[in-house]
Chains A and B, each alone.
Chain A
């Protein structure tokens, strides 16, 4: 399979990948070239998620790809999973977000905290794209502080009744099922936070599109309202308990984001490099001027460092040795790098850089969301600060 986009690999990091890992990357890369790139600009301008792509993404195994085959998933290692995110986000952060949510925030909690029955029921349908999921943790007043949530779940004779509101929920309006986090005890009892599998057609559940987004326009972002939503006993994820459970999901998603953001950066760099070699000003290509070379050298350096970071992180994850704080470092660094690379690429492209025909400004706008979601850049700074000093600065 030939792809016009060859990635960015200054240190021949491909040679450190196994044959399967490269094959996975190449499948996703070719799919992005042939199926996503031709439709993404229009979807972005129109502000809609290109939902028509979901069946093929599912068929190729993009959802929950690092979960076991017995549940209909591809059973890949975490490096291959990261490469999927990298290539998807080279296309668009919104499309990568869709896959992140479906896999790391919906399928993973069912896999990690669900009963065998729940896993057998939900995972194959989510892997096959028959069902779309969303993850309800963040609330209007509780973003960086999810433990403060005020959504409640009261146990009844037949099951649970959920009340509350969730904000900034990717896939919220498209989802068939939501993983909703709620307090089952007193409002200050963070240990009582449990996860629930809530079909979105349940009475009292509603989702409203978040309007006016200037970022992640090709992604569905919604507010969820749960008003006396009654679910059965089997909606509870039995192994979930405390704020640690949703944070474990976020670690999975952030791991993918650290790879994904780099994909966006690689796409921007490749676009900028091609443009610099071809755009002639004052009689020679702008790539021949020192200012643009400095831009390119800086982008390439940061991308290469980020690539080594996530590859090693992936190997640690596969060994079972990865710590959440290490994920924070990678998410913080790589998304920040991607933001800078996208902005510099946009500038290198001159006036053309503001057009949707070039990817840089779309990535640049998208990455501002990625910088803010899944633990803001600032929160990851504080997580690292706490980890190295033993002193929490955010409580």
Chain B
């Protein structure tokens, strides 16, 4: 199968971010960037589905620095990368989807995979919008994929149960946690990635219609309080949970 995986470079989820001076972006100084964790599921799934003959192409829209993220996917085992270069990733998901769709539409892909969200902006949008622009069926937040010829069966975790969907290839799938266990980039893979091709070209990015107006950090959590010790403290704890914390 020829599979495209659309990935994104995001700040490490363990990083404590600071807001930059412009008030609408984060200060990247000292921040470690990683391959978006949901995209790791997409890369892993693509590698498992590739087959022979097959090709896994990773595509990202980002700055020059995103080449490192592409190489992470190449180190995991993807075959080649495409970097759609921008000076800054816009907040407008549709603009990004259009740039990705322009790259993907003539690629002859059987399957296009995304992570279900990027953990930095939580948009949930780019994958499904890209599917629409490509005219492909889209199933989001997949936890299991089964391919039988050109028929794709996808399981999704919905409220209280599992939904099983079907569609024909080519299709766009966004991947959720639980789909697989992503492999580590092996050391040989890291060395091999240096020799794999990355094509860099300017992104065909339309004007953004959505912009970020402000960013704010969540309010600091208040300090905890010890209401007492042992069984005698339980009634007071229950009262506070009910009346102050409104936990139930």
Contacts and interface: CB of A to CB of B under 8 A. Distances in A.
Contacts, number: 56
Contacts of A1: 34-35, 37, 40, 184
A31 interface: yes
A23 B71 contact: yes
A60 interface: yes
Interface string A19-30: 110011001001
Given A2-B12, A3-B14, A23-B75, A31 B184 contact: yes
B3 to A, nearest CB: 21
Interface residues of A, number: 24
A2 B34 contact: yes
B146 interface: no
Given A2-B34, A20-B194, A60 B71 contact: no
A85 to B, nearest CB: 13
A74 B191 contact: yes
Contact of B187 (A2, A6, A27): A27
A23 B190 contact: yes
A4 B68 CA distance: 21
Nearest to A6: B14
Contacts of B35: 1
Given A19-B68, A19-B71, A23-B71, A2 B13 contact: yes
Contacts of B184: 1, 27, 30-31, 60
Contacts of B30: 12
B237 interface: no
Given A2-B12, A19-B68, A60-B184, A27 B37 contact: no
Contacts of B12: 2
B72 interface: yes
B76 to A, nearest CB: 10
Given A1-B34, A3-B14, A6-B14, A23 B194 contact: no
B186 A2 contact: no
Contacts of A75: 188, 191
B175 to A, nearest CB: 16
Nearest to B185: A27
Interface in B153-207: 184-188, 190-191, 194
Contacts of B37: 1-2
Among B68, B71, B187, find the residue whose CB has the most chain A CB atoms closer than 10 A. Answer: B187
Interface string B1-19: 0000000000011100000
A61 interface: yes
Interface string B34-49: 1101001000000000
Contacts of A80: 187
A30 B186 CA distance: 12
Nearest to A7: B32
| Range, interface on chain B | 20 to 34
Interface in A94-145: none
Contacts of A329: none
Interface in A277-331: none
Contact of B72 (A4, A23, A59, A65): A23
Given A2-B12, A2-B13, A30-B184, A69 B191 contact: yes
A27 B186 contact: yes
Contacts of A59: 186
A311 to B, nearest CB: 18
A62 interface: yes
A65 B37 CA distance: 27
A84 B188 CA distance: 13
A1 B119 CA distance: 12
A3 B14 CA distance: 7
A60 B191 contact: no
Given A19-B71, A23-B72, A76 B34 contact: no
Given A2-B37, A23-B71, A23-B75, A60 B187 contact: yes
B182 to A, nearest CB: 8
A309 to B, nearest CB: 23
A20 B34 contact: no
A84 B12 CA distance: 21
Interface in B68-91: 68, 71-72, 75
A61 B194 contact: no
Contacts of B185: 23, 27
Nearest to B12: A2
Nearest to A19: B68
A2 B33 CA distance: 9
Given A2-B34, A19-B68, A23-B75, A61 B187 contact: yes
B225 to A, nearest CB: 13
A1 B35 CA distance: 7
B187 A76 contact: yes
A79 to B, nearest CB: 13
23 contacts: A1-B40, A2-B13, A2-B37, A3-B14, A6-B32, A12-B30, A23-B72, A23-B75, A23-B190, A24-B187, A30-B184, A31-B184, A60-B184, A60-B187, A61-B187, A62-B187, A69-B188, A74-B186, A74-B191, A75-B188, A76-B187, A80-B187, A84-B187
The 9 A-B pairs at the shortest CB distance, nearest first, are namely A61-B187, A74-B187, A2-B13, A23-B190, A60-B186, A27-B184, A74-B188, A61-B188, A61-B186
Interface of A: 1-4, 6, 12, 19-20, 23-24, 27, 30-31, 59-62, 65, 69, 74-76, 80, 84
